[in-house]
Amino acid sequence: MFDGATDVSICKNEIVYARFVDNGVPKVLYVKIQDVEHAHAAGVLEAIEKSLDGIQEEWTWKEKLIATASDGANVNIGRKNSVVALLKNDVPHLLSMHGVCHRLELGTLDTMKARDAKIFADLKSVLLNLHKHYHYSPKALREVKALSEAMEQNMIKPVNLQGTRWMPHLSGCLDVLLRQYQVFVAHFENTVQGKIGTIDVQSRAKLILKHLKKYDLLSHMHFLKDMLAVLSELSLQFQKDACCLPDASEALETTCLQLVALQQRPGKSLHTFLDEVIHENNEYMLKGIRLSPPTLTAEQLKQKQNTLVDSVLNHINKRMGDMDTNHLLKDMQIFYPINLPATDAELAVYGEDQLEALCEFYSDVLNRLDYDVEHLKQTEWPALKIKMKREPNNTSIQDFYHRLFTNSNQKETLKNILVLVETVLCIPVSSAIWERGYSAMARIKSD
């Protein structure tokens, strides 16, 4: 698992992690941060080799290599002249993974910008200016804290939207704004009406206040809060170091179902907003604050929201579709107990073609380990299917295989097929670990 970044001294670095399986439990090990002399594919690969060549084991690291994980840069995973392309010369069975965290963020943000560019720009402007207004003015922060105490609300300082694209961060920024909506509006009205602060401060307050009183934008904010709450939960699942293919697939399916539900009925935040808005005599009031009337009808707003959800689903499925369309990743799903067929007749022949394809793809690995492939197919695979069938539905895949790996009798009985299981669990899907690594590097290699 690798990624590149430039440190404070303007030096290119490559951070390298190793993912392995310990008794059925995927783990991630930090290896090294290595200087990169040249940022092309050969230079990046040279840095990775320098990081890993110092590890003395029975086999070289390339002989143990199953897959790589990185971001989607062409220098990493491009078809030609990339790190992965060069590695495949020595490791023909190499599987290349583009981190799911990056794909989720890029797909969702691309959708928001493409579908509602103007309203998304307004939302981003509000969140950035809100942070700027209170971050650089201790006086403004003291005033809004005093105001929140007078209104009997807990004050939470607006956080910066810049510098990160993780979904939970965007969701948190939006939550702070909507939770203290009345406090912020009251403070900005006081700033504008009392002409408090410099011209820049007053202009920024007018701009934020104008946006915060738009019915369309507020409705969109509450809808986004519901949608981002669902996507943030998925992002947090993807950011776990132990996240493996079955976890990612299950979390993605759950999220898609929750997003479809938002099309059928309003989410919690939007439902609360619609209940609190009072519409009388062509005026819209929210918690005593007069809003500018909507430019779209309720049906048009609903249609716009549903279209956005459809676009998000399409972009996510497009960027992450390889988990279901890649023949190798799809074949690996035979080891997930949840996919077992219901009838004994189907179970008897279940997974035989997929297992054959996996054995053929990893033939050099199995041959090097001198494993009995025929015994794996004829005896061990049926035995493993029975064990998966008897497993309770609420048991996690990692817990199930952890028990097999730690049971000395089972580990010996299923020793051949557990190599393939270990391979499946070793496939890296999360891309958050190296981002945290660079955060740690920035704290150490500071100015």
Q: 50-54, 116-120, 130-134: which has the minimum mean pLDDT?
A: 116-120
Closest CA to 20 of 75, 66, 54: 66
Does position 44 have pLDDT exceeding 80, yes or no? yes
What is the average pLDDT score of the chain? 86
pLDDT attached to residue 275? 93
Quick one: what percent of the chain has pLDDT higher than 70?
A: 96
Enter the pTM of the model.
0.79
Contact 152, 202 (CB under 8 A): no
Q: How sure is the predictor about 155, in pLDDT bands with cuts at 50, 70 and 90?
A: confident
Q: List pLDDT tens digits, range 403-419.
A: 888 988 888 899 889 88
pLDDT attached to residue 118? 76
Q: 59-68, 87-96, 354-363: which has the minimum mean pLDDT?
A: 59-68
Q: How sure is the predictor about 147, in pLDDT bands with cuts at 50, 70 and 90?
A: very high
pLDDT attached to residue 342? 85
pLDDT attached to residue 166? 64
Does position 184 have pLDDT exceeding 90, yes or no? yes
pLDDT attached to residue 117? 67
Does position 24 have pLDDT exceeding 90, yes or no? no
Closest CA to 385 of 330, 332, 337, 423: 337
Question: Helix 215-238 and helix 167-179: axis angle, to 10°?
Answer: 140
Give the pairing of strands 67-70 and 95-98.
parallel
pLDDT attached to residue 267? 92
Give the pairing of strands 67-70 and 25-35.
unpaired
Does position 115 have pLDDT exceeding 70, yes or no? no
Residues 6+ apart with CB under 8 A from 122: 211, 214, 217
pLDDT attached to residue 349? 92
Q: How sure is the predictor about 165, in pLDDT bands with cuts at 50, 70 and 90?
A: low
Rg of the chain in Å (alpha carbons): 27
Instruction: Give the separation between CA 67 and CA 29, rounded to whole angstroms.
Output: 15
Q: Determine the average pLDDT of the residues in 290-302.
A: 90
Q: 121-130, 162-171, 196-205, 287-296: which has the minimum mean pLDDT?
A: 162-171
Q: List pLDDT tens digits, range 241-287.
A: 777 777 788 888 899 999 999 999 999 999 999 999 998 888 899 98
- Given the structure tokens 């309770």, which residue do they identify? 392
Three-state DSSP state, 417: helix
Q: List pLDDT tens digits, range 298-351.
A: 899 899 889 889 988 888 787 776 676 788 888 888 988 888 888 989 999 999
| Distances 249 to 28, 60, 86, 333 between C-alpha atoms, Å | 20, 32, 29, 10
pLDDT attached to residue 111? 77
Cross-strand bridge partners of residue 279: 284
Tokens of 189: 């009205």
